[in-house]
Structure 1
Amino acid sequence: MNELKTDGVPPSGRPVVFGEVLFDDFEDGPTVIGGAAFNLAWNLESIGLGPLLVSRVGRDELGDRALEIMGSYGMDVSGIQADEELPTGTVSVKVSAGQPEFAINDRQAYDAIDADEAREAVGAIEVSLLYHGSLALRSERSRRALDALAAAGRGRIFVDVNLRRPWWEKASVLGDLSRARWAKLNEEELFELSDVPDSSPEGLLAAAFDFRRQLDLDLLLLTRGADGAALLQADGQSVVLPAMAVDEVADTVGAGDAITAVTMLGLVRGWDGATTLERAVEFAASICGLEGATTDRRRHYDDFLERWEGSGWETSSLGGGR
């Protein structure tokens, strides 16, 4: 398979993850730390990429809990800001037939990420790439903070589309994607953001290729839930894989974040597209067996790393580039 375009990603650098830290309040269940940005950063920490998470929590009990959880796991919390007025983010989660439904509160601490504080935290490191989602950009203040960091990414921006009504506008999301090199979205989000005249698997893939071409993305990762995922390249080639079977699905919260994390690992390590997606889908399946999006059991992640390293970190380079 031809190489993916990733040249210019310094393997010695650290990914910067920008976005929300919040707590998922499961109906009839626990309150679990989460948010797409947090989940991704946790996974990246667990697979050895040492991310810097840039977010904001409240000076409250949940904020203290978030810092304690991250610190005790060994995550760098120097990019986590504290807000005197706004609370740490919370989301009500209802799981139906294994699929999560979210009710997201307004005016949360992650809506007020400060640009100056963010620049100061990121200025001390070499940045491999900059990741952000959609939710934290619903506020102008956090959007200004992201814009301040975009230069640090040197065009190496990975956008994870997370459309949560009513907190997004199509033009704004497409604008964010226009400055990205790599992006991830699910099939429902593809329907929202582009024209998909044919919802068959072939039609969906064709629409995704067209969407990638219009945005001039080097790589588009399309997740399809129980139907698997696809990795679409700028040269017109693709990898399409079904989802892996899971003995007992606890929930699918965080499965997309897991796929994104391993895809980013593939970018940094120089894996080819097929290897990257195979490993990403396998890792995401393991997350579906957990309650919530992450685990503090390091062994869960180490098992994957040891197996991947044993078969060779390097396959054919995920190279090329603008």
Structure 2
Amino acid sequence: MNGTPQPHLIFGEVLFDCFPDGTRVLGGAPFNVAWNLHQLGEAACFVGGVGDDADGRSIRERMNRIGMDTRGLYRHPAAPTGQVRIALEDGEPTYTIVPDQAYDTVPAEWADQLPDTAGLLYHGTLALRADNRELLERLQARAQHRFVDVNLRAPWYQPDDVLALMRGADVVKLNTDEAATLAPDVAAPERSAALLERAAIRSALIITHGADGAAIHTTDGQHWEAPAPAVDGFRDAVGAGDAFASVAIIGLQHDWPWTTTLERALGFAAAVCSLQGATSEDSDFYHRARTAWS
């Protein structure tokens, strides 16, 4: 993909993560990825919906503050800006998804004002639980490549629907539990090969294992895995998977070897675990990560 000048289209939910102590942190997996890409120096256009409310205005202001592309940010006239309630157990998050949020319904014609071509379309699965499928098709027609980041949040998914969304993607990322949910009839050692075949993935399947690291399985039969590095000043794991996905996209853009992508993605995910929540407005945090790759 090296040399692609167009911004990546990052489609899906933007919301506030609401923590038990009352802290509210801006998030949503696709928004986190768009934020990370921008802060790491990559061109990215986030596509998603916010409400015509104080939270929606706050999101636009924060995007403007760091210079993010706001062309794809749709203001819903009736639905509220999204929220997710987070509970933490030993630093690991569980999520309660609030229904009928602004990110659930973005008009398909919203795509018409976006760039005609894009290097890559990234999307998850949560924002596609509702009426966004036609918009996805229009975005997909603009993109040269597609990266699917599976985020299963009960009860907002059906396994067959998720497999259909994965079908034909260049790269799919999911975690160990999600892989087991989508291929429960296959033993763990054969699960990656089964998912590559069932979803007709074109390039690679990434399976993250939380604190145990991650593995990359390619369609030509290659396989790499690595442990997660130690986290200095661990706070929580919110956004670690999104951090990994962000660096995986950069690796695709710049034609890094898969082993390099794996090492750098795990390193950045570990760094994000030192934050509360998934993102930071501290540009030095991202500069340190990018400098380490030089």
Q: TM-score range by the shorter chain?
A: over 0.9
Question: Within 5 A, what are the aligned runs for 1:161-240?
Answer: 161-195=150-184, 197-199=186-188, 203=189, 206-217=190-201, 218-240=203-225
Question: Within 5 A, what are the aligned runs for 1:285-300?
Answer: 285-300=270-285
Deviation at 1:153, TM superposition (A): 1.4
2:268 matched to 1:275? no
Q: Is the 8 A contact 1:10 1:128 kept in 2?
A: no
TM-score, normalization by structure 1:
0.88
Letter in structure 1 aligned against 2:224: V
Instruction: Give the aligned partner of residue 320 of structure 1.
Output: none
**What value does the CA root-mean-square deviation take over the aligned residues?**
1.3
2:254 matched to 1:266? no
Question: Within 5 A, what are the aligned runs for 1:1-322?
Answer: 10-123=3-116, 126-140=117-131, 142-154=132-144, 156-195=145-184, 197-199=186-188, 203=189, 206-217=190-201, 218-309=203-294
Q: Is the 8 A contact 1:53 1:79 kept in 2?
A: yes
Deviation at 1:306, TM superposition (A): 1.7
* CA-to-aligned-CA distance 1:234-289 (integer Å, 9 cap, x gap): 11111100111113320000000000000110000110010110000001000011
Deviation at 1:307, TM superposition (A): 2.3
Letter in structure 2 aligned against 1:253: V
- Paired with 1:303 and 1:93, the residues of 2 have a C-alpha distance of 28
Letter in structure 2 aligned against 1:240: E
TM-score, normalization by structure 2:
0.96
- Paired with 2:110 and 2:73, the residues of 1 have a C-alpha distance of 9
SS in 2 for 1:128: coil
- Paired with 1:196 and 1:10, the residues of 2 have a C-alpha distance of 41
Which one is further off, 189-198 or 230-239? 189-198
Q: Which has the higher contact order (CA 8 A, sep 6+)?
A: 1
Q: Is the 8 A contact 2:186 2:194 kept in 1?
A: no
- Paired with 2:139 and 2:285, the residues of 1 have a C-alpha distance of 32
The answer for unaligned runs of 5 or more in structure 1 is 1-6, 310-322
Letter in structure 1 aligned against 2:234: V
The answer for unaligned runs of 5 or more in structure 2 is none
Aligned residues: 293
SS in 2 for 1:283: helix
Deviation at 1:196, TM superposition (A): 5.6
Q: Is the 8 A contact 2:63 2:69 kept in 1?
A: yes
Q: Is the 8 A contact 1:11 1:269 kept in 2?
A: no
4+ residue stretches of structure 1 with deviation over 2 A? 195-199, 213-216
Q: Is the 8 A contact 1:136 1:143 kept in 2?
A: no
- Paired with 2:44 and 2:62, the residues of 1 have a C-alpha distance of 15
* CA-to-aligned-CA distance 1:163-190 (integer Å, 9 cap, x gap): 1111111111111111311110000100
Deviation at 1:91, TM superposition (A): 0.8
Deviation at 1:149, TM superposition (A): 1.3
SS in 1 for 2:253: helix
Identity level (%) = 40
- Paired with 1:307 and 1:166, the residues of 2 have a C-alpha distance of 40
SS in 2 for 1:191: helix
* CA-to-aligned-CA distance 1:98-140 (integer Å, 9 cap, x gap): 11111111100001111111222233xx410101000000102
- Paired with 1:10 and 1:37, the residues of 2 have a C-alpha distance of 23
Q: Is the 8 A contact 1:177 1:215 kept in 2?
A: yes
- Paired with 1:21 and 1:10, the residues of 2 have a C-alpha distance of 29
SS in 2 for 1:40: helix
